[in-house]
Chain A
Amino acid sequence: MSTEAPAAARSTVLATGRSSLGRRLLIGAVLGWFALLILVPTAALAKEALSGGLRTLFASLMKPEVLRAFRLTLVTTALATIVNTIFGLALAIVLVRQKFWGKTLLDGLVDLPFAVSPIVAGLMLIVLYGPKGWFARPLAAANIQVAYAVPGMVLACLFVTLPFVVREVVPVLQEFGVDQEEVAYTLGAGRWTTFWRVTLPSIRWGLAYGVTLTVARSLGEFGALLVISGNTVNKTQTATLYVHDAIDSLDPQGAYAVSLVLAGTSFVLLVGMEWMRKRVATREGKA
């Protein structure tokens, strides 16, 4: 119900516009701007990637270092998404339900990763975990490598994607309130059962949207990874870092091909989620 309200309000504003000419101009301008900004560059990328034919595209993608780069991207994305889903959910619940000193500050700081450049985030991690970093000695003693290795890269993804789940879940959780949970308690359900059967299903779309954005952002993360990974081919090179190198080493075809896959994946993710949400919304009568 609530998710549909803004859309309804928007269409009313447009529908009550004074002249149909003005309305069409507005719609035209918005669509034109969107096309110029998003569609045209995407189309250009797709055209370049496919310019040598599908066979060339395929060949570029099947290079061993490309496959390794994709595998590494998937691993860091998966780990970062799992951790940030759980932690983001917990953080959202604490922010909405608990009262404690410094809550407002925490609420503001959650957005810090949005405000800080990823490259700075990477640098922060180097300061902590780098060869001369604060934790260098204990980490070396325990024989754990963080910087220039997968753990550091996951940490970088965690940092930059922290706000997504929190920001998507908090408003949904606020709107959800506590009534339904309290009813579940009176019907004999414990806290855990209530969470799984009542709370989670009620906030699932906010959560799913946050997770989708987290995945998309992790797939595309570059700046923080560049600093923390050291960008070693076949070892710590992710798909985005490969694109960077491919451009540098005059292999634009490889860069286009990998970029197209990255962009396509994010697009499919977003569209797929929106489609699922609509379907369920129709079933539950909220559309």
Chain B
Amino acid sequence: MGIAVRNLSKRFGNFHAVDDVSFEVPSGELVALLGPSGSGKSTILRIIAGLEPADGGSVELTGEDATNLPVQSRGVGFVFQHYALFRHMTIRQNIAFGLEIQKLPKPEVRVRVDELLELVQLGGYAGRYPSQLSGGQRQRVALARALAPRPKVLLLDEPFGALDSKVREELRTWLRKLHDEVHVTSLFVTHDQQEAFEVSDQVVVLNRGKVEQMGPPQLLYEKPATAFVTQFLGSVNILRVETVLGMDQDDERPLPLELPGTDGPVLVYVRPHDLDVMKIRNGRPAWPARIGKLTPLGGTVRLELTLHDGTSLLVELTRERALELNLHRGEDVFVSPKDMKVFHESKAFVENYVI
């Protein structure tokens, strides 16, 4: 196991930043810690690095207990959002820093630094100073510096957060490719769901200092374990039970929903692309609705609908489907769910309904 975190907790005053968090990062994988700000993801990363002491719990790095090791002996590479390059050193000196601390002979340092400059595609920049590089280049230097001493694990704290969106996307793709070459166990923190899904093998979703769910991106999206995960990963319509029950039911195909009305609030989640629109009823359960707004988004068309009880609904249709239906603003249509997820707040389980 690359990284194992067990029952980690950390308080700042009354604020429970990390609350009994456990997860594992398999060796050689690239895993994302995903969550909104204040979910404790950066704190967890800093605890793993040894930059922050935990109040409780343990940290294992490559199978060895590192809970009480000082940061210097943990063998972690750390990349900060704002690069944190040594501004008074050249790129070569920056990358060599960790190797010099290890007292590696000079020729070996040289060879290793050249190797890394090559790896991060900054061969011609060895003699420059950080201020002479662009943001993306600086972050690549930071990565090279972290990788130079061959760390057991690589930790990245919002590594693309300070870059503009185009550079961010390029660097993401590049990081994924780099990881496929280097295969160092990596954990990176992000609040950007797309980033987490694009780059990582697995994602740990955090909320309020707790792990909500961990798994490969596809699994999280298709089988979210909690209401939070459903809501956080992509857009979703949240419906009241009354709305769902008020749906026009066809005798032939009744809604296969058994809703316990007694034990606490129940919420029904439907993704915009799990809704279909029809001009005439076709025997499926459906709500009558009126089209408020039509927004073409290239491959898809987004509809904003209003149900009779006032609930607004976001629907995403393929371009072909939208063309076929020839929809107009203000038109009355029927909308029918293909897939619904039902969350009982009192119970920690999800019911999945495919209709």
A interface with B by C-beta (< 8 Å): 1, 179-180, 182-190, 193, 197-198, 201-202, 204, 283-286
Contacts and interface: CB of A to CB of B under 8 A. Distances in A.
Interface string B79-90: 010101111100
B339 to A, nearest CB: 45
5 nearest A-B residue pairs (beta carbon): A187-B98, A179-B84, A285-B131, A186-B78, A285-B132
Nearest to A190: B72
Contacts of B49: 186
A186 B128 contact: no
Interface residues of B, number: 29
B76 interface: yes
Interface in B36-86: 49-51, 71-74, 76-78, 80, 82, 84-86
A186 B145 CA distance: 11
A177 to B, nearest CB: 8
Contacts of B149: 187-188
Contacts of B51: 182, 185-186
If over half of A's interface residues share one DSSP class (helix, strand or loop), that class is named, otherwise mixed; here it is: helix
B84 A180 contact: yes
Contacts of B98: 187-188
Kindly name the residue among A186, A201, A285 whose own CB sees the greatest number of chain B CB atoms within 10 A: A186
23 contacts: A1-B131, A179-B82, A180-B84, A180-B87, A183-B78, A183-B146, A184-B86, A185-B72, A186-B71, A186-B74, A186-B76, A187-B145, A188-B73, A188-B101, A189-B72, A189-B97, A190-B72, A193-B101, A201-B88, A202-B86, A204-B88, A284-B131, A285-B129
Contacts of A201: 86, 88
A286 B131 contact: yes
B72 A284 contact: no
B102 interface: yes
Nearest to A205: B88
B131 A188 contact: no
Interface of B: 49-51, 71-74, 76-78, 80, 82, 84-88, 97-98, 101-102, 128-129, 131-132, 142, 145-146, 149
Contacts of B77: 186
B187 to A, nearest CB: 13
Nearest to A187: B98
Given A187-B97, A187-B101, A188-B102, 6 more contacts: A185-B71, A186-B76, A186-B78, A186-B146, A188-B72, A204-B88
A75 to B, nearest CB: 33
A189 B131 contact: no
A180 B86 contact: yes
Contact of B87 (A187, A188, A197, A202): A202
Nearest to A179: B84
Nearest to A180: B84
Contacts of B72: 185-186, 188-190
A182 to B, nearest CB: 5
Contact of B145 (A182, A183, A185, A198): A183
Nearest to A184: B97
Contacts of B74: 186
B80 A179 contact: yes
Nearest to B148: A187
A204 B89 CA distance: 13
Contacts of B84: 179-180, 182-183
A188 B50 CA distance: 12
Contacts of B88: 201-202, 204, 284
Contacts of A187: 97-98, 101, 145-146, 149
Contacts of B146: 183, 186-187
A232 B132 CA distance: 57
Kindly name the residue among A180, A188, A193, A197 whose own CB sees the greatest number of chain B CB atoms within 10 A: A188
A56 B51 CA distance: 66
Contacts of A183: 78, 80, 84, 86, 142, 145-146
Contacts of B73: 188
Given A187-B149, A193-B101, A284-B88, A182 B78 contact: yes
A188 B87 CA distance: 19
